[in-house]
Amino acid sequence: MNLLEVRDLEVTYPSGAAAVRGVDLALASGEKLGIAGESGCGKSTLALALLRLLPAGTRVGGEILLDGEDVLAMKWGRVRAVRWAGASIVFQGAMHSLNAVHRVGDQIAEPILLHRRATPAGARKKTGELLEQVGLPAARADAYPHELSGGQRQRVMIAMALACDPRLVIADEPTTALDVMIQAQILRLIERLVSEQDLGLLMISHDLAVLADTCDRLAVMYAGRVVEEGPARQVYEDARHPYGRALSEAFPRIGDPASRFAPRGLAGDPPDPSAVPSGCAFHPRCPVALDLCGTRDQFLRDAGPRRRAACVHLDARAGAPEAETTEDDVRSSTP
Ligand SMILES: Nc1ncnc2c1ncn2[C@@H]1O[C@H](COP(=O)(O)OP(=O)(O)OP(=O)(O)O)[C@@H](O)[C@H]1O
Ligand code: SF4
Ligand SMILES: [Mg+2]
């Protein structure tokens, strides 16, 4: 059984923004899955939906199975327990997630006391062990967040995420705010902890290069959908979908926050989720769009061994009659 299975997930915010539109994903224990895509493609919405952290009034459809248990059908008490012991999230920007007026040790110990029903002495001991696991001396438990560097604070966030021995760690842009050296250290730390403890890792980033380096498999999101997925290196080096290709052709600019807004060579922005274009949502920006792309929706289908993508050109490659692609159909350059 997969550790995580997401089936036909749909998320619509109260504003009407359809931020996730029919996502299927699966993750085995010990596996590292990367989710890539430009700003606004629905990556964080997907992560928040997995642990039911979305704002009240948000409509969520489909199924989320964590260790076979349907997260969307859980009672709130069970959801709270699952948020620490089943799966936990490491967010970007540790300074904003940590409470400035409490010592970091107390913040790590809190879920251990609450969810593990540990004694104060037991929680303190576990906190020291967790800090050492993430490469900080146990004595740093007494520090306040402002007394730590950005990298150290992110290590504290990772220690906190591991506090109740979760089976799945969701890391949403865990290193984007850090400089290149610290970013590499944190990525190696996450990789090591995940493989030592046989956890599942769902890592979100706009940076395909970082994900290709860290993850086993990669899913590329565009306008709330997964448009391509497969073995991480293959997707990065030889994307099947024009959007995946545009992302991977973007210069790997680790630590450059401006790069999240548009990959190099691709004009425009992802669509507003309240007004997603008809047909293939990528068609207004696609350099190889056909006339039919504006009306015909595209869904993931086989694109090679263990690979899937959602593009009409795949049918042409396979010689399927459905697309009937000709040279004249291509509006501009070929892929
Ligand atoms: N609370 C909300 N209410 C309404 N719309 C929202 C809300 N949160 C996010 N959105 C919209 O949903 C879309 C997806 O947002 P999301 O945060 O999931 O994107 P993302 O891929 O994580 O982007 P980034 O790389 O910038 O973090 C965006 O268009 C965003 O404006
Ligand atoms: S289906 Fe058409 S618009 Fe969409 S990615 Fe493929 S060629 Fe481009
Ligand atoms: Mg995000």
The pLDDT score that the predictor gives to residue 208 is: 86
| Index of the ligand 2 atom closest to the CA of residue 312 | 1
The pLDDT score that the predictor gives to residue 324 is: 42
Beta bridge partners of 35: 204, 219
Helix (H, G, I), strand (E, B) or coil at 74: coil
Other Cβ atoms closer than 10 A to 192: 13
The model's pLDDT over 213-241, given as tens digits with 9 standing for 90+, comes to: 899 999 999 999 999 999 999 999 999 99
Tokens for 310, please give them. 């959602």
| Closest residue to atom 7 of ligand 2, CA basis | 289
Q: Where are the domains of the chain?
A: 4-220
Instruction: Give dist(CA 19, CA 51) in Å, integer.
Output: 16
Other Cβ atoms closer than 10 A to 82: 23
Those residues whose C-beta lies under 8 Å from the C-beta of residue 321, and which sit 6 or more positions away, are none
CATH H superfamily, domain 4-220: P-loop containing nucleotide triphosphate hydrolases (3.40.50.300)
- Nearest ligand by distance to the CA of 42: 1
The pLDDT score that the predictor gives to residue 305 is: 93
Instruction: Give dist(CA 160, CA 156) in Å, integer.
Output: 6
Other Cβ atoms closer than 10 A to 84: 22
What does the DSSP 8-state code read for residue 3?
A: S
The pLDDT score that the predictor gives to residue 319 is: 47
The low-confidence residues of the chain, meaning pLDDT below 50, are 253-254, 259, 263, 319-335
| Index of the ligand 2 atom closest to the CA of residue 283 | 3
The pLDDT score that the predictor gives to residue 253 is: 46
**Cα–Cα distance list, 257 to 10, 206, 243, 287 (Å):** 28, 10, 20, 25
The pLDDT score that the predictor gives to residue 332 is: 40
What is the helix (H) or strand (E) element at residue 305, kind and residue range? none
Which DSSP string corresponds to 94-161? HHHHS-TTS-HHHHHHHHHHHHS---HHHHHHHHHHHHHHTT--GGGGG--GGGS-HHHHHHHHHHHH
The pLDDT score that the predictor gives to residue 316 is: 65
Instruction: Give dist(CA 46, CA 20) in Å, integer.
Output: 7
The pLDDT score that the predictor gives to residue 330 is: 45
**Dihedral pair phi/psi, residue 7, rounded to 5°:** -125, 120
How many angstroms does the Cα of residue 42 sit away from the middle of ligand 1? Answer: 6
With the most atoms of ligand 2 within 8 angstroms of its CB, the residue from 227, 278, 288 to mutate is 288
Is 0.95 topped by the overall pTM? no
| Closest residue to atom 4 of ligand 2, CA basis | 280
